[in-house]
Amino acid sequence: MGDRFDVIVVGAGPAGTSCAYTAAKSGLNVLLIERGEYPGSKNVMGGILYRKQMEEIIPEFWKEAPLERPVVEQRFWFMDRESMVTSSYKGLEWGREPYNNFTVLRAKFDQWFASKAVEQGALLINETVVTECIVEDGRVVGVRTDRPDGDVYADVVVLADGVNSLLGKSLGFHKEWKPDEVALTVMEVMNLPKKTINERFNVEDNQGVSIEIFGDSTQGLLGTAFLYTNKDSLNIGVGTTLSGMIKKKLKPYHLLEYVKTHPMVKPYLEGGETAEYLAHLIPEGGYKSVPRLVGDGVVIVGDAAQFVNAIHREGSNMAMSSGKMAAEAIVRAKEIGDFTERTLDHYRKELYRSFVGKDLKKYKDVTHTFEDHPQYMADYIPMLNKAANKFFTVDGSPKKQKQSDIIKGFTKDKGKITVARDLIRAWKVMK
């Protein structure tokens, strides 16, 4: 390669490609390096792509991008062994422009998105691993790749190298993640005819449903399962903190089978043909796990920076916004010809001023609190189901008696004070 660039972006996922696209569009000379056979070949996501942050990069992308279905209904299941309490919102306005979010298949989407960055002038090089950052006098000046004569130099290197971010770690920007800072997620894409999906999920051709499943789907562990509709396939998956999985000695694919065969889930999958099985880590350490973001000649974006809002299953949008903000800071740095940490720090400041920083901060204690207090998943969801069962079973007892029994049921095992304390704690970390 041997050349010199304004910017080298490592990793062609949503964060890296957003950065490369924005920087190239502003006239910078950009190299985008991807280790997979093509962008998307190493990337996994449950499947929700958010319109707002994508649109800020490519207006009206939905007219051209390979999307599956716009989501018109979000369902939430609080599931027990053979029951569930559900809540949902369906709004047909989400099925029209400008939409809210879409299901996507990443291998297709990421290739398309990277091709748009190339259209803007970025140079995309696939099948290339960046083995290390080249550091001179404490400044990142380029990257070393696994190609022969594979050193490349640039004013700024953007680390968009995903959740494992070996590069961020090797620069000392973060230590190795702990098992409670990542969620191990496995999923399957299951082919199912479009007509069957429409009937089963009560939607039309260009309408999608997302279902988040809490409770028995993770056997009480901190995590969720999900079921999303593509055009003619479903994404079914489940993830829990790696620490939870280790502690409970669970095999992730056994948990996935448990979800697939759960009596609440199984009818939706009937007749489906598994087309692919995928495993990936999601960075879920939150605000406190965010690494150092900026150094001399280097910034970190996306999953590599732990930008995920686990409560709202948002990540790809944070990745895109962070990539875009990094590019804008780099363009600014280029204008003044200074690529030190002090100038690039503009990116960090903007990021913390944006929804990315604010949402991460809002939920900063959530993962740790729920991990340390397993009762929310393990006890309260079954209790909620029992309460609903009791309330809706017509058994001749007066409703007032039922209400009193339900409240007693909630407090009987744990005591009123514990329940009150649990409620206050949950409110505090979510508010």
Instruction: Please list the residues that pair with 229 across neighbouring strands.
Output: 234
User: Contact letters (x/-) for other proteins, 179-218, by CB under 8 A?
Assistant: x--x-x-xxxxx----------------------------
Question: Per CB under 8 A, does 273 bind other proteins?
Answer: yes
From residue 350, give the alpha-carbon distance in Å to each of 158, 309, 359: 16, 18, 14
d(CA 119, CA 178): 39
Burial string for 359-372 (b: 16+ CB within 10 Å, else e) reads bbebbbbbbbbbbe
Among 235, 306, 321, 343, binds other proteins (CB under 8 A): 235
Among 145, 224, 306, 309, binds other proteins (CB under 8 A): 145
Judged by beta carbon, residue 274 or residue 401, the one nearer other proteins is 274
Tell me the window of 1-9, 143-151, 209-217, 373-381 that interacts with other proteins (CB under 8 A): 143-151
Among 246, 407, 420, 430, binds other proteins (CB under 8 A): 246
Minimum CB separation from other proteins for residue 396, in Å? Answer: 41
Judged by beta carbon, residue 36 or residue 382, the one nearer other proteins is 36
Minimum CB separation from other proteins for residue 66, in Å? Answer: 12
Judged by beta carbon, residue 48 or residue 344, the one nearer other proteins is 48
d(CA 209, CA 228): 6
Query: Which structure tokens are listed for 215?
Result: 């409770």
Among 128, 207, 218, 309, binds other proteins (CB under 8 A): 128
Question: Per CB under 8 A, does 47 bind other proteins?
Answer: yes
Decide: helix, strand or coil at residue 253. helix
Among 146, 151, 204, 372, binds other proteins (CB under 8 A): 146
Neighbours of 288 (CB within 10 A): 13
Query: Which structure tokens are listed for 324?
Result: 């875009």
358, 361, 366, 367: CA torsion to nearest 10: 100
Question: Per CB under 8 A, does 271 bind other proteins?
Answer: yes
| φ, ψ dihedrals at 58, nearest 5° | -125, 100
Decide: helix, strand or coil at residue 177. coil
Question: Per CB under 8 A, does 170 bind other proteins?
Answer: no
Decide: helix, strand or coil at residue 211. strand
d(CA 78, CA 350): 37
Pairing of strands 71-79, 84-90: antiparallel
**Residue type at 163?**
V
Among 96, 195, 251, 353, binds other proteins (CB under 8 A): 251
Question: Per CB under 8 A, does 69 bind other proteins?
Answer: no
Question: Per CB under 8 A, does 129 bind other proteins?
Answer: yes
d(CA 245, CA 417): 30
Minimum CB separation from other proteins for residue 277, in Å? Answer: 4
Pairing of strands 182-191, 208-215: unpaired
Q: Which string of DSSP letters, residue by residue, matches 59-79?
A: TTGGGTS----BEEEEEEEEE
From the list 5, 51, 193, 28, the residue with the least C-alpha distance to 121 is 28
Judged by beta carbon, residue 128 or residue 219, the one nearer other proteins is 128
Tell me the window of 125-133, 375-383, 384-392, 400-408 that interacts with other proteins (CB under 8 A): 125-133
Question: Per CB under 8 A, does 163 bind other proteins?
Answer: yes
From residue 115, give the alpha-carbon distance in Å to each of 28, 40, 55, 305: 17, 12, 16, 24
Question: Per CB under 8 A, does 344 bind other proteins?
Answer: no
Decide: helix, strand or coil at residue 243. helix
Minimum CB separation from other proteins for residue 294, in Å? Answer: 24
Among 13, 14, 16, 36, binds other proteins (CB under 8 A): 36
Judged by beta carbon, residue 44 or residue 141, the one nearer other proteins is 44
Among 249, 399, 400, 431, binds other proteins (CB under 8 A): 249
d(CA 413, CA 380): 11
Judged by beta carbon, residue 32 or residue 294, the one nearer other proteins is 32
Tell me the window of 83-91, 112-120, 122-130, 419-427 that interacts with other proteins (CB under 8 A): 122-130
Chain residues that interact with other proteins, rule: CB under 8 A:
35-37, 40-45, 47, 105-108, 126-129, 145-147, 163-164, 166, 176-179, 182, 184, 186-190, 233, 235, 242, 245-246, 249-253, 257, 260, 269, 271-281
